[in-house]
Amino acid sequence: MLRFKPEQRVEFKEYMRSDGTRSYFFTIDSVRNLFVNAGFIEVELEYCCVKSVNRGKGKSMRRVWVHGKFRKPL
């Protein structure tokens, strides 16, 4: 479930935040393609899942990031 409303959608996987900044949701394959096509070598690439709890509001949120390590070829 995304926290963005349908009217905040700019394009596929791209959303506008209330402060005017944009959020884009990457997949592992899209990140891999970006870096490999730019000449980098993939060292590590995975999803990083974290559960964040706001005790004051009594809410818990699941966050997911794409974490990657790439290196330049020698």
47-67 burial code (b ≥16 CB/10 A, e <16): eeeeeeeeeeeeeeeeeeebe
Q: Are 31 and 64 in contact (CB under 8 A)?
A: no
Residue 58 lies in a domain: yes
Nearest to 40 by CA among 62, 67, 5, 71: 71
- Predicted pLDDT of residue 14: 74
**Is there a domain that residue 42 lies in?**
yes
Determine, yes or no, domain membership for 3.
Answer: no
Please, which pLDDT band fits residue 5 given cuts at 50, 70 and 90? low
In a domain, 15, yes or no: yes
Q: Please name which of 32, 58, 57, 34 lies closest in space to residue 43, comparing C-alpha atoms.
A: 32
Range of the domain at 33: 8-71
What are the pLDDT digits (tens) for 18-61?
A: 788 888 788 999 999 999 999 999 999 999 999 999 999 888 88
> Do 66 and 47 form a contact (C-beta atoms < 8 A)?
yes
Domain total in the chain: 1
Report the pLDDT value the prediction gives residue 6, as an integer from 0 to 100. 67
Pick the more confident residue, 58 or 4.
58
- Decide if 1 is inside a domain: no
Residue 50 is assigned to a structural domain of this protein = yes
Inside any domain, residue 30: yes
